[in-house]
Amino acid sequence: MENIYNYRLEELKEYFKNINEKEFKAIQVYEWLYKKRVKSFDEMTNIKKEVIEKLKQDFKIEPLKILKKQIDTDVCKYLFELEDKNKIEAVLMKHDYGNSLCVSTQVGCNMSCAFCESGRLKKVRNLSSYEMVLQILEVEEDLNIRISHVVLMGIGEPFDNYDNVMNFIDIINEPKGIDLGARHITVSTSGLVPKINEFAANPKQVNLAISLHAPNNEIRNKIMPINKAYPIEKLIESVKNYLNKTNRRVTFEYIMLKDINDKVENAIELSRLLKGINCYVNLIPYNETSHIEYKKSEKEQILKFYDTLKKNNINVTIRKEFGKKVSAACGQLRSNYEEEK
């Protein structure tokens, strides 16, 4: 039995057509789910009893279970338990432009980035679209807020779960549903070049972020194994292809790791690599964890790196630091929870 939150509106219309019911009932169900946020089919009072019974036979409507929640200034981190007892995280960040939710796309991750807590647990499975949708619904209900932006940067590599991720984007972008604008959705990838090329053909104006974290192959090979399959030259080529097809600016994420990738000469090299590309660089102060030896760059060094990029005409920002009092690193809350158990 499938969870109803897995269904796009068009698929639900097809379902009603197949059971000899009018297509508009799909719109009614969608509005009950996403506008009125009901928790059972019985609450859908404008749908006749026999159709409700049929929906109950064919679909589940279960929510995710909140196992743990950590709160700090402008941030709230959630640990969810899935039906099969696997655990994932989502992080709500309050910005001046609205509420942004960082969503997980997999249980575990196979990318094995050396600095990443999530990658310590290898991929167990992909998340279904509904398990991504429910992260949004649960957080909105728990905090009584509207989420205005979604970033797919939580546990997992979104492009390693491409079909479910694209289905999820269709569901949350649907005006009759959550109605989140495509330009308020960002997908982050560690550099799966074939999927970047596929994504470039998608007509939706969803944002693309590249987890770059190094200006050359030598450094990137050490900290991101994916680079051995798709080296920087191929990655940049796919980004240029994306820009040619979409004309949408790309974000390059760059975690600042002390004495690894944070020298001024690294910034100069990065400037050369990105010259002429319609992009901006997001410098991210590293969240240290007890399991990984990498350290956060000194504030002074981050500012030098920033200034060097600026002088070389690269658009650059330094990400606001969130969650000093919570398990801030991606995957850290889940990891800590498992250890406590």
Task: Convert the pLDDT of each residue in 36-54 to its tens digit.
Answer: 999 999 999 999 999 999 9
Residue 11 has pLDDT above 80, yes or no: yes
Secondary structure E strands in the chain: 2-3, 59-60, 65-72, 75-81, 87-95, 98-102, 106-107, 125-126, 149-152, 185-189, 207-211, 250-256, 279-285, 316-318
pLDDT of residue 290: 76
Q: Which candidate, 156, 153, 114, 157, places its Cα nearest to that of 291?
A: 114
Sorting pLDDT into bands at 50, 70 and 90, what band is 258?
very high
Q: What is the pTM of this model?
A: 0.93
Q: Select which of 76, 89, 109, 131 is catalytic.
A: 89
89 as an active site residue: the answer is yes
Residue 326 has pLDDT above 60, yes or no: no
Query: What architecture is the 2-60 domain classified under in CATH?
Result: Orthogonal Bundle (1.10)
Structure tokens at 193: 């070049």
pLDDT of residue 120: 75
53 as an active site residue: the answer is no
| 153-190 tens-digit pLDDT | 999 999 999 999 999 999 999 999 999 999 999 999 99
Residue 337 has pLDDT above 80, yes or no: no
The residue-averaged pLDDT of 264-271 equals 98
Residue 192 has pLDDT above 80, yes or no: yes
| 120-165 tens-digit pLDDT | 788 999 999 999 999 999 999 999 999 999 999 999 999 999 999 9
pLDDT of residue 115: 93
Sorting pLDDT into bands at 50, 70 and 90, what band is 320?
confident
Using DSSP bridges, classify how beta strands 316-318 and 279-285 pair: parallel, antiparallel or unpaired.
parallel
Sorting pLDDT into bands at 50, 70 and 90, what band is 324?
low
Q: Which residue has the higher pLDDT, 286 or 290?
A: 286
pLDDT of residue 243: 97
pLDDT of residue 118: 74
Residues carrying CATH 1.10.150.530, the chain: 2-60
pLDDT of residue 333: 62
pLDDT of residue 331: 53
pLDDT of residue 70: 95
Q: 82: which residues sit within 8 A by CB, 6+ positions away?
A: 64, 88, 107, 127, 131
Q: What percent of the chain has pLDDT over 90?
A: 89
Average confidence score pLDDT of the chain = 94
Residue 266 has pLDDT above 70, yes or no: yes
Residue 339 has pLDDT above 60, yes or no: no
DSSP 120-184: GSPP-EEPPHHHHHHHHHHHHHHHT----EEEE-SSS-GGGGHHHHHHHHHHHH-TTTT---GGG
Residues carrying CATH 3.20.20.70, the chain: 65-340
Q: Select which of 76, 288, 330, 340 is catalytic.
A: 330
CATH of 65-340, one of 3.90.320.10, 3.40.50.20, 2.102.10.10, 3.20.20.70: 3.20.20.70
The residue-averaged pLDDT of 241-260 equals 97
